Structure 1
Amino acid sequence: MKVEYVGDKTLRLNNEVHAYLLPKCPYCGEYLEYPEVEESE
């Protein structure tokens, strides 16, 4: 199964823009979302 990854950006509360990849379901064409995770820098 091939899954497309589409680049996307989200604006966080700290006004920093974090780029991440969203996996696109090859069957339904819907974009899957990752659960919210705490990022440690």
Structure 2
Amino acid sequence: MPSCNIDKQVSELLTMVSNKLVGMRCQQSFMGGYAHAVR
């Protein structure tokens, strides 16, 4: 199997994982700020 194909899959996987991590972090900070503002 060609290595370029594996590189493409790995890069897509890394992009998806990093997007999920960033989304989770933004959601956490948003919820934390919202809870702090409500209190």
TM-score, normalized by the shorter chain, greater than 0.5: no
Q: TM-score, normalised by structure 1?
A: 0.18
The structure, 1 or 2, with the larger RCO (C-alpha pairs under 8 Å, 6+ apart) is 1
Q: Max radius of gyration: which structure?
A: 2
Bigger share in strand: 1
Q: TM-score, normalised by structure 2?
A: 0.18
